[in-house]
Amino acid sequence: MTAQTVQQGDLVTVIGLEVHVQLETDTKIFCGCSTEQTDEPNENVCPVCLGLPGALPVLNEAAVEAAVKIGKAIDADIPEETRFHRKNYYYPDLPKNFQITQYDEPICADGDLEVAVEGDRRTVTIERAHLEEDPGSLQHVGGGGGIDSADYTRVDYNRAGTPLMEIVTAPDFRSPSEVRAFLAELEEVLEYLGVFDAERDGSLRIDANLSIIPEAEIESGDVTDIGADALAAANRTEVKNISSHKGAEKALAYEETRQKNAIQRGRAVEQETRHWDESRGITVSMRSKEEEKDYRYFEEADLPPLRVSGWKEEIAIPELPSARRERFQAEYGLNEEAASKLTSTKQVADFYEDVAGEFDPDLAATWVADNLLGELNYRDMDIVELEGRLEEVTRLVELVAEDEITAKNAHETVLRGMLDDGEAPDEIVEEEGLGKTDEDEVQQAVVEAIDENPDAVDDYESGDDGAINFLVGQVMQKTGGSADPGDVNQLLRAELEQ
């Protein structure tokens, strides 16, 4: 990451992430139970995901394929052979009392992901990414509803065994805002790969390790090169139960402030695991921080080594968001902001390219990035909700491109009507009488506006150029908003200068 020099007396924040991504597969990682979310607790379960004696796991091929795609996307090393291990610990949502995961032979290692942070491109090191099974979920009921205040807790094992990819970064982050930017970029990549559903509840969960290190302990004076000794000497907290980009930024900002305040007051920072209570906006202590030895890893005897040699080469990945952004800027002449909006999801990027293939790329960018996405965001909608209707949006762009309606009416009346009432663009144009007024009618309206507003004419002729805007408004009113404001402005000036 880019070098940053610290000032005397600074306390440096150091953050590393463990990002748990639920992979989009039809069945669980070691059994045939459905991964479909259901309101009925403990419905999609079997002896394997309940950890009953004698039940044997069988690895899901689709989960392995998704893991290989992620490895290729983060430019990681994918070994020819990898293994599964048992991670032993007791928790109510883990019925076997161990989790099948990967330990020292992960399916992906030594990767990286480039991220834009406040206009600066930075590369985050991804130390490893490994496959494992998700535990069940806990529902805290009564009392304050939190992990430390509920009257009792229910356990739902529907989630147990859902395939997870745990992505572990190096401690490369120096602020909560950097973490949020990384998570947004990572989610875009996962969505492009088709291995992840952001709308699925609990599909992205983050554990963050945060330490505060006094600048005096950084020998290099560079916050991006802290050194192993300083990192090892610092107590760190692990913050769990983070489930969104915004939540990560808020949780880590709180924890950063909590630790800095403790240090400045001469208090020790405990090495512990803390729970992010989103409703209260605070972290609360859960337990002392476990060390690797506490989990007593050993090989999973019921699963043979996983070999992907000869198969991983056949697994292809699509053009990723960063490459597509660069291509959009080069091929369509878009600026960085527009290219970022238009590649925010694969569906948006695909639709833009469809529209830009038929009409002017700048016009297509305005309509997709600004008008369409703006209206969808206002309604808390996503472009996937317009599946089957995107041809109607293309037709609306065509009406504007062919100069059949004004851009203002197309956006404010037609597009909004399409989204709110489900009508087709041509229907709205006909019902509202939005077809453009012919030139003779516009010219007649110009003449009438000049004749009926002598004061505005005098102001314009006296040098008040703003008076023309009033006259434009009068013409637009006479034409029912169907004239083009730019054309009206030109016609008025021509008429007034005769």
Angle at alpha carbon of residue 418, lines to 416 and 423, rounded to 5°: 145
What average pLDDT score do residues 155-171 get? 96
- 204 neighbors 217 (Cβ within 8 angstroms): no
Return left, alpha or beta for 142; rule: phi > 0 is left, psi -120 to 50 is alpha, else beta: left
DSSP 401-454: HTTSS-HHHIIIIIIHHHHHH---HHHHHHHHT-SPPPHHHHHHHHHHHHHH-H
Q: Going by C-beta distance under 8 Å and a sequence separation of 6 or more, which residues neighbour residue 24? A: 66, 194, 195, 196, 197, 200
- Cα 488 from Cα 468, distance rounded (Å): 10
Closest by CA to 381, choosing from 432, 415, 335, 334, is 415
What average pLDDT score do residues 177-202 get? 93
Asked if residue 315 has pLDDT above 90, the reply is yes
- 206 neighbors 4 (Cβ within 8 angstroms): no
Lowest mean pLDDT of 139-153, 243-257, 374-388, name the range. Answer: 139-153
Q: Which tokens belong to 308?
A: 């992907």
Q: Which tokens belong to 119?
A: 């206009």
Return left, alpha or beta for 143; rule: phi > 0 is left, psi -120 to 50 is alpha, else beta: left
What is the reported pLDDT for 232? 55
What average pLDDT score do residues 298-321 get? 93
Share of the chain above pLDDT 70, in %: 92
H/E run at residue 117: strand 108-117
Give the tens place of pLDDT for each residue, 368-401. Answer: 999 999 999 999 999 999 988 999 999 999 999 9
- Name the pLDDT band for 165 (thresholds 50, 70, 90): very high
Share of the chain above pLDDT 90, in %: 63
Asked if residue 497 has pLDDT above 90, the reply is no
Q: Which tokens belong to 97?
A: 């009392």
User: pTM (2 decimals)?
Assistant: 0.82
Delineate the domains of the chain, giving CATH numbers in brackets.
3-313 (no CATH), 321-432 (no CATH), 439-497 (1.10.10.410)
- 334 neighbors 328 (Cβ within 8 angstroms): yes
Asked if residue 186 has pLDDT above 50, the reply is yes
Please provide residue 139's backbone torsions phi and psi, each rounded to the nearest 5 degrees.
Answer: -120, 110
Asked if residue 318 has pLDDT above 70, the reply is yes
Give the tens place of pLDDT for each residue, 334-349. Answer: 999 999 999 999 999 9
Asked if residue 218 has pLDDT above 70, the reply is no
Q: Which tokens belong to 349?
A: 């990027």
Q: Which tokens belong to 129?
A: 């990414």
Q: Which tokens belong to 367?
A: 């309509």
Q: Going by C-beta distance under 8 Å and a sequence separation of 6 or more, which residues neighbour residue 238? A: 207, 208, 209, 272, 273, 274, 289
Burial class (CB in 10 A: 0-12, 13-18, 19+), 438: exposed
Distance of CA 307 to the CA centre of its chain: 32
Asked if residue 2 has pLDDT above 60, the reply is no
Asked if residue 351 has pLDDT above 90, the reply is yes
Lowest mean pLDDT of 84-88, 377-381, 459-463, name the range. Answer: 459-463
H/E run at residue 331: helix 321-332
- 269 neighbors 302 (Cβ within 8 angstroms): no
Which of 108-122, 362-376, 469-483 has maximum average pLDDT? 362-376
Q: Helix 61-73 vs helix 176-193: angle between axes, to the nearest 10 degrees?
A: 130
User: In terms of residues, how long is the chain?
Assistant: 498
Burial class (CB in 10 A: 0-12, 13-18, 19+), 61: exposed
Q: Which tokens belong to 93?
A: 């949502």
What is the reported pLDDT for 229? 56
- 399 neighbors 415 (Cβ within 8 angstroms): no
- Name the pLDDT band for 333 (thresholds 50, 70, 90): very high
Integer CA distances (angstroms), 71 to 77, 100, 478, in order: 7, 20, 62
Edge-to-edge strands of the sheet including 120-133? 108-117, 120-133, 163-169, 11-22, 204-214, 236-242, 272-277, 282-288
Distance of CA 238 to the CA centre of its chain: 23
Give the tens place of pLDDT for each residue, 31-85. Answer: 999 999 888 999 999 999 999 999 999 999 999 999 999 999 999 999 999 999 9
Q: Please provide the average confidence, as pLDDT, over all residues in the chain.
A: 88
Torsion, Cα of 85, 90, 95, 101 (10° steps)? -20
Strand 85-88 vs strand 137-141: parallel, antiparallel, or unpaired? unpaired
What is the reported pLDDT for 9? 54
Asked if residue 419 has pLDDT above 80, the reply is yes
What is the reported pLDDT for 368? 97
In this structure, which amino acid lies at residue 24?
Answer: E
What is the reported pLDDT for 7? 40
Closest by CA to 347, choosing from 397, 316, 379, 381, is 381
